[in-house]
């Protein structure tokens, strides 16, 4: 039976990647939970009609985001600055003194608090318990998923919205069309919708295969986004590349009939997007296998004479560890600043998660940087990096070349 595209409903979805069976990427667990751990197929497809790259058979949200989901706010200062700038830019572009601003997936309200300080009237939609933190700090937040139904309820009582923001949210949503219908419904006629997500061509360029996991259901490019928006009566007016999450794109969107010519140039990289056609995608599986093989050999070689630790118990690390076919056991432990993860074990591979202080006590100089998207911040702030000659290990040689240059 032909696979169906979940974005355009066409029947030309082509599978190009199979990463085997994976545990839940964020399913950090206790020893007692090992025997009931579940594994799910991780396969990716490309729609030959609308170009949307997507997970095939995504795991339903009720399994992915259960009560144990370690929803935590970014502990990164760089991300806070990034959100500050986004709020400023959006308010500036809205050309209003007190714009109404809604954030979809507003977490603990960090971005909304900043926008509120700048005069915006803010409101958040956030399904996780971080919504409670936002409300406690005075940022009005509805603890729910945003979709057409939520939009309809909202607009029944509230006015249209001048600015809608969604950062690293759309790539997670199960029913993308439902969310876009909701956005179209509440956006004022002269409103702006801005969203940003990991940029698919960057994932391929860096061979960042660890970005492919159960929660990332959509992998956007400028061309697939343009087609998606067009089907929903919306129009991309600008796209700006961002360094966050190892390479993201920020998309600025208006209603299709808004009479403003695209004012900000698309990045030159869009010109090269045509390179990421099916032929290129079909090579990706082999490229990933080559990187995994290289990482296995590196870990094996180092572990003969040295201990190895991991830095950052990220959902991305789950993908890497579960592709290593046993070699992941050469990693003693993974450090992470998140209290919820400390004392637990990594999904599938069952590597212990410990606080970063452990590295100071131990004589470990070889560290695989799973939180590579925060490399610059870690190199700047982690005292250990200044005290010791750390040999950083990366799961992809292109990421290694790029990140070590920042050191």
- Regarding 378 and contact with ligand TMP (CB under 6 A), the answer is yes
Strand arrangement of the beta sheet that strand 391-393 belongs to: 353-354, 331-335, 308-311, 366-369, 391-393
Phi, psi of 170 (to 5 degrees): -60, -35
Residues 131-190 touching ligand TMP, rule: CB under 6 A, are none
- Regarding 211 and contact with ligand TMP (CB under 6 A), the answer is no
Sign, CA torsion 165/170/174/177: positive
266, 216, 290, 244: which is closest to 55 by C-alpha?
Answer: 216
Cβ proximity to ligand TMP, 47 vs 369, nearer residue: 369
Q: Which two tokens stand for residue 245?
A: 């999450």
- Regarding 336 and contact with ligand TMP (CB under 6 A), the answer is yes
Is the Cβ–Cβ distance between 189 and 160 less than 8 Å? yes
Q: How far is the CB of 355 from ligand TMP (least distance, A)?
A: 9
Out of 106, 223, 314, 322, name the contact with ligand TMP by CB under 6 A: 314
Q: Which two tokens stand for residue 131?
A: 């919504």
Q: How many whole angstroms separate alpha carbon 239 and alpha carbon 73?
A: 26
363, 357, 354: which is closest to 312 by C-alpha?
Answer: 354
Stretch that binds ligand TMP, among 98-106, 112-120, 170-178, 310-318 (CB under 6 A): 310-318
3-class secondary structure, 258: coil
- Regarding 224 and contact with ligand TMP (CB under 6 A), the answer is no
Is the Cβ–Cβ distance between 353 and 380 less than 8 Å? no
104, 244, 102: which is closest to 170 by C-alpha?
Answer: 104
Cβ proximity to ligand TMP, 74 vs 352, nearer residue: 74
Out of 192, 313, 331, 369, name the contact with ligand TMP by CB under 6 A: 313
Cβ proximity to ligand TMP, 109 vs 198, nearer residue: 198
- Regarding 197 and contact with ligand TMP (CB under 6 A), the answer is no
Stretch that binds ligand TMP, among 113-121, 279-287, 359-367, 369-377 (CB under 6 A): 369-377
In sequence order, the 6+-apart residues with CB closer than 8 A to the CB of 316 are 25, 210, 211, 213, 370, 373
Stretch that binds ligand TMP, among 73-81, 192-200, 253-261, 286-294 (CB under 6 A): 73-81
- Regarding 353 and contact with ligand TMP (CB under 6 A), the answer is no
Q: How far is the CB of 63 from ligand TMP (least distance, A)?
A: 19
Residue 251's DSSP bridge partners are 195, 239
Q: How far is the CB of 203 from ligand TMP (least distance, A)?
A: 14
- Regarding 24 and contact with ligand TMP (CB under 6 A), the answer is no
Stretch that binds ligand TMP, among 130-138, 268-276, 308-316, 391-399 (CB under 6 A): 308-316
* Intra-chain end-to-end CA distance of the chain, in Å: 50
Q: What secondary structure, in 3-state letters, does 291-310 show?
A: HHHHHHHHHHHHHCCCCEEE
Strand boundaries in 76-213, DSSP class E: 100-104, 121-125, 141-142, 161-167, 187-198
Q: Which residue is nearest to ligand TMP (CB)?
A: 312
- Regarding 371 and contact with ligand TMP (CB under 6 A), the answer is yes
Residues 100-119 touching ligand TMP, rule: CB under 6 A, are none
- Regarding 358 and contact with ligand TMP (CB under 6 A), the answer is no
In sequence order, the 6+-apart residues with CB closer than 8 A to the CB of 131 are 106, 124, 141, 142, 143
Cβ proximity to ligand TMP, 234 vs 353, nearer residue: 353
Q: How far is the CB of 317 from ligand TMP (least distance, A)?
A: 9
Taking residues 255 to 294 in sequence order and writing x for each that binds ligand TMP by CB under 6 A, - otherwise, the string is ----------------------------------------
Residue numbers of the site for ligand TMP (CB under 6 A)? 74-76, 312-314, 336-338, 371, 373-374, 377-378
């Amino acid at each position: 039976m032909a696979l169906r595209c979940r974005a355009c409903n066409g029947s030309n979805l082509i599978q190009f990647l199979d990463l085997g069976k994976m545990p839940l990427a964020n399913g950090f667990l206790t020893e007692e939970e090992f025997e009931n751990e579940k594994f799910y197929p991780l396969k990716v497809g490309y729609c030959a009609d609308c170009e949307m790259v997507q997970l095939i058979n995504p795991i339903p949200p009720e399994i992915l985001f259960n009560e144990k989901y370690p929803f935590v706010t970014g502990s990164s200062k760089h991300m806070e600055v990034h959100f500050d700038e986004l709020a400023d830019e959006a308010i500036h572009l809205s050309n209003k003194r007190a714009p109404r601003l809604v954030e979809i997936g507003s977490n603990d309200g960090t971005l909304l608090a900043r926008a509120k300080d700048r005069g915006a009237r803010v409101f958040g939609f956030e399904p996780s318990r971080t919504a409670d933190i936002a409300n406690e700090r005075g940022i009005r937040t509805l603890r729910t998923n945003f979709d057409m139904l939520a939009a309809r309820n909202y607009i029944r009582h509230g006015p249209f919205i001048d600015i809608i923001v969604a950062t690293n949210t759309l790539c997670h949503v199960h029913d993308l069309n439902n969310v876009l219908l909701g956005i179209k419904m509440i956006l004022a006629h002269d409103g702006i919708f801005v969203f940003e997500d990991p940029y698919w061509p960057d994932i391929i360029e860096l061979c960042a295969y660890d970005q492919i996991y159960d929660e990332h259901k959509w992998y956007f490019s400028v061309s697939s986004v343009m087609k998606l928006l067009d089907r929903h009566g919306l129009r991309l007016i600008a796209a700006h590349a961002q360094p966050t999450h190892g390479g993201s794109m920020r998309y600025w969107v208006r209603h299709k009939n808004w009479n403003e010519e695209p004012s900000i140039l698309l990045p030159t990289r869009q010109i090269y997007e045509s390179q990421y056609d099916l032929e290129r995608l079909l090579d990706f599986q082999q490229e990933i296998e080559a990187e995994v093989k290289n990482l296995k050999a590196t870990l094996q070689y180092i572990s003969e004479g040295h201990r190895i630790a991991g830095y950052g118990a990220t959902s991305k690390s789950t993908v890497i560890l579960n592709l290593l076919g046993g070699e992941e056991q050469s990693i003693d432990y993974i450090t992470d600043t998140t209290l919820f993860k400390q004392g637990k074990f990594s999904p599938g591979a069952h590597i212990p998660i410990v606080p970063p202080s452990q590295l100071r006590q131990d004589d470990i100089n070889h560290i695989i940087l799973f939180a590579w998207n925060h490399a610059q911040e870690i190199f700047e702030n982690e005292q250990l990096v200044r005290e010791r000659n750390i040999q950083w290990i990366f799961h992809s040689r292109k990421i290694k070349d790029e990140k070590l240059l920042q050191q």
